[in-house]
Amino acid sequence: MSLELSYLKDKQILIVGLAKTGVSLAHFLVKNGAKVTISDHKSEAELARYLEQVKDLPLQLELEGHAPKSFLNKHHVILSPGIPSHLKLFEYIKAQGVEVTGEFEFCARFTDTPLLVVTGTNGKTTTADLIYRSLKESGKSPWAGGNFGEPLSRYLYEGEKADFLVIEASSFMLEHINHTT
């Protein structure tokens, strides 16, 4: 049983890391009524192409560092892939009772569509592509994402309907999983 999208209304959520996943996640969260802050250690110039994609969203931005106060009074802190979850700041936030998780795990809570997750050292893209094509050729309606396409939040934002979600999961995505669903 998935969470209802209405759960997100008025939730204070911090996204750590803008880039492709952060942009997609911000759109999904704002569309569903969350109060979003994005924190990234990079400068405005380094993030220009991503900032352009969120410029019309009602959200708060914190660039060139992560101020500990930005992490307080949040319902969730969501890390983009590649953000190391072992930083002392995240341990402190967890100790305050704030959930710190990754985009993939967080978003998986909002769908009942079966997830086919491909992990491993080598062959993830090929395997995910073969699964996707096999499902499509068998008359199913699959969606491919993760490293192999778009973040899961993009699927949720667009409101697509698929029979299966084929996710290529890198070690960076798996690092932020706290619970299995």
Q: For residue range 22-56, what is the model confidence (pLDDT) as tens digits?
A: 999 999 999 999 999 999 999 999 999 999 999 99
Inter-residue contact 174 to 119 (CB < 8 Å): yes
In a shared domain, residues 15 and 98: yes
Tell me how crowded residue 86 is: count the other CB atoms within 10 A of its CB.
Answer: 7
Segment among 10-19, 71-80, 86-95, 96-105 with least mean pLDDT: 86-95
Q: Is residue 168 part of a domain?
A: yes
In a shared domain, residues 94 and 12: yes
Measured distance between the N- and C-terminal CA atoms of the chain, rounded to whole angstroms = 10
Q: Is residue 15 part of a domain?
A: yes
In a shared domain, residues 19 and 80: yes
Residue type, 39: S
∠ CA(9), CA(14), CA(15), 5° rounding?
A: 110
Q: How far apart are CA 38 and CA 15, in angstroms?
A: 5
Evaluate if pTM is beyond 0.85.
yes
Q: Is residue 45 part of a domain?
A: yes
- pLDDT of 5 higher than 90: yes
- pLDDT of 135 higher than 70: yes
- Domain of 36 in residue numbering reads as 5-102
How many domains, the chain? 2
Instruction: Map residue 100 onto helix, strand or coil.
Output: strand
pLDDT value of residue 178: 73
In a shared domain, residues 34 and 74: yes
pLDDT value of residue 127: 95
More confident residue, 30 or 66: 30
pLDDT value of residue 1: 62
pLDDT value of residue 87: 81
pLDDT value of residue 93: 86
Range list of H helices, the chain:
19-31, 48-54, 68-71, 88-95, 103-108, 124-137, 152-158, 171-174
Pair of tokens at residue 26: 């911000």
- Give the CATH number for residue 16: 3.40.50.720
Average pLDDT over residues 62-78: 89
pLDDT interval class at 84 (50, 70, 90): confident
pLDDT interval class at 163 (50, 70, 90): very high
